[in-house]
Amino acid sequence: MSGCVFGDFWVSAGLAGIWLIRIVCLKDRSILIWAIVTSLVFGCWFVFQRDQRRLQTLPEMSNTTVKLQVQPDDVLVGPDSVQLKGRLPTGQQVTGQYYAAEGERPAPQWQIKRASTLTVAGDVMQFEPATNVNEFDYGAYQRQNGVLNRVKIAQLLAVTPATGGHVWQRWLNACHTLRARLIIETKKLPPLLALYVQGLFLGYRADNFYDNLAAVTDLGLIHLFSISGFHVVWLTAVMAFVLKRLRCSQAAVNVIILLSLPSYFVLAGAAPSLLRAILVSMLALGASLMHWKVTPLTLWGLSLMLALLWYPALLMQLGGQLSYALAFALIFVEGRSTLMKTVLLNMVSLPFVLYHVYQWHVWSLMANLLILPVFSWLIFPVTLIGGLLGLKFPVVAQLCTHLLGWFTQGLDTIAHFPGMITFGKPHIVLVVLLVGLTLVLLTRHRQRTVIIALAVTYAASFLMIHYPVKGEVTFFDIGQGDSFMIREPYGKQITMIDTGGDVFFGGHQVKKRSRALRLNINYMQSMGIHRIDALCLSHQDADHVGFVGDVLKTMAVKRLYIPWGMAANPQFMQRIRPNLNQTQLISVRAGQTIPGTHLKVVHPFTPGLGGNEDSMVLTGQYGGLQFMFTGDLGQDGEKKIIAHYPQLRTDVLKLGHHGSKTSSAPEFIQALQPKVGIISAGRHNRYGHPNQETLATLAQQHVPYFNTQTNGMIRYRFRAHHPGYWETVMKEDAT
């Protein structure tokens, strides 16, 4: 029911139909009635919540003043920026971003120590949609969690302490205030110890978390740092042990833990994935106090229903899916060996991981098997002791840091073993089938048949992703820059032209995950691509080659092509040399071809250092259309091309320099006679790309065009020796 409203309707409706058939087959009228009534209640609740969110989403407003009720642990003050989450007086949740003037730091007033009301001036904006295929939709994620708008803050006008309110609000404020203080205090610990303490017990991840603990993600161990059932069971066991040593009765122990769990839920960051563990523990403790016998499956089901009342879209997120899928599977693996438990739980999680992350490390199974006991008996105690005593006794902090450092180095060593498999994103129907077959495997019925079916399904999914019948020419929406990919049918040849890159104008560079890893590399991995046969860089500008380091580190690049003379540019060579490894560097000039592809080089004619005028220009035929990629070549270079190649024609022209008036000379467009133009430019870019003169030239020559600003990612998909068709993420047609 939740999926029908918040996710994929047809898949969810199909699962609901299967579930209903199962209920009918039980031939128990009371169960059928209860199931229908419950479904109707939850269905109405989900629709109501969806409609409320639509109604409460504010229209965009510029230069307005708003009041934000914020908690101190929801305000993250950086060197030159502030990120926060708060509520408007009307109850809507919003995020806020503030950037200090260049060379300045945020004012001390941002460092609030208790619940406060911030009066700010700025713009109320809606979240931008994902504009590339398989790009993480941050706006949808925030809306699923009830955050409906964002505020671009220009100025902090006033800070006033929040009023006490009712008992519930005072308790909530106290928990948030304590969490904020704990985060501040733990930052004084040695950096590595601080990362572990904050991640394992406070649900807080610093900006450098993934840089320092990259192996945790690569080996599929991030769940150990996502506070959930594993942490709650460990902490409640420690509390019970201490309370019993203080001679508390079992009933008193249960009551104290039961009353403490809601506070810990807030102290640990109140993540949706943590809610299940808290609810299960509270329900189990309540049942014990009432002397009720409740089965684990009943606890699981009750916790799911209560969680969906609080977070209706919980199961649309990877954290919620893994939390409930693994908890469900744990019920059925009791009594099996540790090895078999680990294998089965990894098999349950694998379809979800592949659907959202696209990769899997073959060593993750061994890592989970070996490291879970280490976490229970070493890492948790060491981290807790270091967090509690580290500030008062620096020697203890240093000792704990050394132990955690050895552990982290061990993870890094394992993560660097070969074995990372780029599987790609399987179709959601196959994901459902894989999950269903794995759950059947837990029942121990017809195991041989189920294992064969699983193997066949995984193999079929892998082959469909890695050897697609259709090829594609893809123009990524990389912002202000260029990045394109050509994939021939059946994955025979992968060519990438430019990588995109960040361009800064003396403003603020926010530390976050590389856009390449979130956009073009992410898309390629989702399509099962782990190698690039030919990486062609048009010239040295950062908006074209800025992400080349990420591409070279992430992908197995066979050959790197650059325009004639750019190898003599020391600045460019310094950028790529550390990551070349086994990649062959090749310079090309007009008249040459890119081996293994259909691409021919038609510029440059003379060597250069990689300026706009030295841009590599490529042309080639795919899916019955002739494509041309022009980099940032100016009008003088365009005229040289048509002078050297007077018979040259093209069907699809990637306009030079993002549609600038310095490119796309009228005689160049007239000579090439393109049928479609492609403009790759960033939204609201400071250059005003595309220029109106260029658009007028296209109009005069009757050339329709796609623009990544309005169309998002653009794909031309085709079969071998057949014409293809155009697709855009944002559904506007070519202008």
Same domain, 146 and 38: no
Same domain, 69 and 25: no
| Residue-wise pLDDT tens digits, 643-701 | 999 999 999 999 999 999 999 999 999 999 999 999 999 998 888 999 999 999 999 99
Same domain, 479 and 380: no
Instruction: Please count the structural domains in the chain.
Output: 4
| Residue-wise pLDDT tens digits, 490-542 | 999 999 999 999 865 444 444 456 789 999 999 999 999 999 999 999 999 99
Give the span between the Cα atoms of 219 and 14, in whole angstroms.
33
- What are the residue ranges in the chain where pLDDT is below 50? 505-511
pLDDT at 374: 84
Residue 269 covered by a domain: yes
Residue 13 covered by a domain: yes
Same domain, 107 and 184: no
Same domain, 534 and 683: yes
Residue 423 covered by a domain: no
Give the span between the Cα atoms of 221 and 192, in whole angstroms.
17
Same domain, 38 and 103: no
Same domain, 652 and 556: yes
Domain boundary residue, one of 163, 185, 217: 163
Q: Which residues of 575-588 are buried (b: 16+ CB within 10 A; e: fewer)?
A: bbeebeeebeeebb
Same domain, 661 and 525: yes
| Residue 730 · residue 712 · CB < 8 Å | yes
Same domain, 540 and 651: yes
Residue 574 covered by a domain: yes
Residue 450 covered by a domain: no
Q: What one-character DSSP code corresponds to residue 593? A: B
Same domain, 389 and 405: yes
pLDDT at 542: 93
pLDDT at 507: 44
Domain boundary residue, one of 353, 387, 418: 418
Q: Look up the CATH number of the domain holding residue 112.
A: 2.40.50
pTM of the complete model beyond 0.85:
yes
Q: Look up the CATH number of the domain holding residue 676.
A: 3.60.15.10
In sequence order, the 6+-apart residues with CB closer than 8 A to the CB of 661 are 691, 693, 694
Residue 463 covered by a domain: no
Same domain, 81 and 51: no
298: closest CA among 262, 331, 326?
A: 331
pLDDT at 457: 96
Residue 535 covered by a domain: yes
Range of the domain at 122: 61-163
Domain boundary residue, one of 111, 143, 163: 163
Same domain, 108 and 141: yes
pLDDT at 732: 67
593: closest CA among 601, 585, 603?
A: 601
Residue 110 covered by a domain: yes
Give Dmax (Cα) for the chain: 94
